[in-house]
Structure 1
């Protein structure tokens, strides 16, 4: 198959197996007590056992996870594999009665609840999942599901990363910082492997790029159990989707995506990882627009996007939660005598709903939430150290913003909200 299956640590390789690369992901914990996929007609395969990682696992496996984030080892792989046909996502925990009703729909062969969000990592947004290792593995490709070290390491507190994830997002020690804050958790990448995929031809971007166990998901502050992966077996996924759409009709924050080849610009739900920020800025559903743009739900736009005046830049259109922090930072920049360091005619906007680089493969830009600004654009291009006054940078950081100049692949014009700071 031409790909490599390997542990975290760039030199370790395993020949003869389909490529597997596992990185830490931002999925939140499954519902307590739900250890495996909920089979509608065939029991509950793949549930975690209470065996230690040394029992029934590769004897050469070594974990570099924090023991305080370890969960029960998953034991050996238990067939059958499940196809990932539908993805249900919401901005909130999916209620148990709703999950039960979905499980009972004709054609739902198996499902697994997990937590799902986007994380800003060095100028990219990665889709992250937190899930029970035994329950989740049956929805991954065969070689990934059967690679015991991947799931033992995930249970041990490490992360699994999809092979398509840019290597520059992981440092030389195989650590990845999942979030844009300086104190965002660093998680060791235990393995690299293909994770949950869309059908060939739909998109080069995996459904999930990073997976962690439930305890890591709690540490990362993901929304709890807000997603479902569903296998429809031999039944046409779109027929099942129609039934789920009816159940979600009263829930404006929930949506269903077809992961099978029937894809047709489905409604998607955008959730940003980080509890305090996501609570403040809201979550929205969207469809794809032309030329790498997206079209957020107008109800969310009306509720969260505002045009207000701020110092130096004049009128800006941003998320209502971000404007007070931006205004406070610019006010302090003026008071510090640094007003000349900001060039109003070189401001490139705040709210701009689109993919990074106008490519869906790169994930949603934080401009889509209206919580990022690009300043002094001509002198601060990507990949350069830029000309931004570092005193300005320090003030922007003080007011809850991460700076793109700190990223591995720099973007010194870019500042994005990474925590809530309320002016006194």
Structure 2
């Protein structure tokens, strides 16, 4: 079966009027077919304003799904109930039921004018994964509940939610070229390959990939560490201020998705990065504040505990993540041992710890964590084969690094940590 696609011209739940259509099959194909995903949901209806439990159902899964080991109960036909995506609250770890109740119970106004600040919400598992030196946001969701916050076109795009329930991953149509560079039809997340089942015609602002809860557990996403909120007739900014006052500004990151959708960044509000894969061990709890002009300000305490300046072979003093430093020293020592030191030019070193967004984007690179470095910059520009000595490349790969020269859009100067390898 091929990839399900939806077509749309608008995104936001409160402004879209078109319905999604399945336009045909993509060139991406797999042997597994998806069928029988249209059964209705069963179970106890969720209480008003809490669609997190709207998909309560039996444990039965659809037949002939793409990935039976990761399939969950199919969402059934869409009932038309929709909400806007206004605020996203994110923690490094699971947000307790008590805190969810406090956050979603905030009120706006006083006396007779007092009203609920949160009209609807759903709980998510949220994190980031890296593809070719760019971080992408991924969520593990209950498809039936989460679809309601995705705008009219995406919410009604039945194939997307059937595919997610069947163990596939959905990405926005706008991310197709970035996240399927080799046209294999699979996306690698935390060393797991997941078939891309649908190109979404819309979606929640700032979310780049959607899987179901079983995949969330496999990928190591923290369980229910995020809450997606619709504020109804209340101002998202006013509700955010109430939540910040209630839980503190440094407890959870709270993004206004209206601002994210319009400007790409919610400046001045700190953000949580929740990495999956090898990077998580080396990064831990990473928080930063977007400053504008492509700059970010990482938490000074994180910089103090993770970033070090040490002398390494060939390059001399470098400033990198302390967890990468032993592997970097070992790789460069091997380069020297093999008589290849003259193939790395100390004066052409491009840096390691660079806390900025990737130029022209609002995405962080692995340089933001001090887990990547650029070598021999002038002769190894992006989009070229590059002049990097291939024996040096093989040495770095042996010591747990990935090389940008292997990417669809090459970056041959770039090496980044792929896995933790002990020199001992």
- TM tier, shorter chain? 0.7 to 0.9
Residues of 1 paired with 2:371 and 2:46: CA distance? Answer: 38
- Quick check: which has more Rg, 1 or 2? 2
C-alpha contact (below 8 Å) 2:283/2:306 kept by paired residues: yes
| Matching of residue 222 in structure 1 with residue 216 in structure 2 | no
TM-score (norm 2): 0.82
Report if aligned partners of 1:271, 1:278 keep a CA contact under 8 Å in 2.
Answer: no
Q: Does 1:154 align with 2:153?
A: no
Cα pair 2:289 2:297 within 8 Å, conserved: yes
Report the Cα distance in structure 2 between the residues aligned to 1:137 and 1:232, rounded to whole angstroms: 17
Counterpart residue number, 1:304: 306
Task: Give the direction of change, closer, same or farther, for the CA distance of 1:133–1:154 in structure 2 (3 Å limit).
Answer: same
**Greater relative contact order structure (CA < 8 Å, 6+ sep):** 1
Give the whole-Å Cα distance in 1 for the aligned partners of 2:44 and 2:2.
25
Aligned to 2:68: 67
**Unaligned 5+ runs, structure 2:** 9-17, 29-42, 108-116
Cα distance change on mapping 1:69 and 1:365 into 2, 3 Å: same
Alignment match of 1:131 (pick from 128, 141, 159): 141
Query: 1:69, CA displacement in angstroms?
Result: 1.0
For the residues of structure 2 that align with 1:129 and 1:78, how far apart are their CA atoms?
Answer: 23
CA RMSD of aligned residues (A): 2.9
> Could you tell which deviates more after superposition, 333-342 or 154-163?
333-342
- The Cα shift of 1:37 comes to 11
- Does structure 2 conserve the Cα–Cα contact (< 8 Å) formed by 1:40 and 1:104? no
Contact map agreement 1:223 1:275 (CA 8 A) in 2: no
| 1:25-57, Cα deviation, whole Å (9 max, x unpaired) | xxxxxxxxxx99986646767315336436xxx
Taking structure 1 as the reference length, the TM-score comes to 0.82
Q: Distance in 2 between matches of 1:14 and 1:288?
A: 32
- Matches of 1:38 and 1:313, distance apart in 2: 60
Distance 1:88 1:42 in 2: 16
Which deviations, in whole Å up to 9, do the C-alpha atoms of 1:134-173 show, x marking residues without a partner?
1211110112111211111101111111121142531324
Q: How many residues align?
A: 383
Pair 250,209 (structure 1): closer, same or farther in 2 beyond 3 Å: closer
Pair 139,123 (structure 1): closer, same or farther in 2 beyond 3 Å: same
Moved more, 142-151 or 280-289: 280-289
- Unaligned segments of structure 1, at least 5 residues: 1-6, 24-34, 55-61, 198-205
Does the 8 Å CA contact 1:45/1:78 hold for their aligned counterparts? no
- Supply the distance in 1 between the matched residues of 2:148 and 2:343 (Cα, whole angstroms): 54
Q: Which residue of 2 aligns with 1:403?
A: 403
Q: Take 1:36 and 1:391, find their aligned partners in 2: how far apart are those partners?
A: 61
- SS at the partner of 1:357? coil
- State the partner residue of 1:190: 197
Match of 1:58 in 2: none
Q: Give the structure 2 partner of residue 260 of structure 1.
A: 258
Equivalent runs, 1:23-422 vs 2, <5 Å: 41=49, 46-50=54-58, 52-53=61-62, 63=65, 65-106=66-107, 107-170=117-180, 171-179=182-190, 184-197=191-204, 206-249=205-248, 252=251, 254-261=252-259, 265-360=267-362, 363-422=363-422
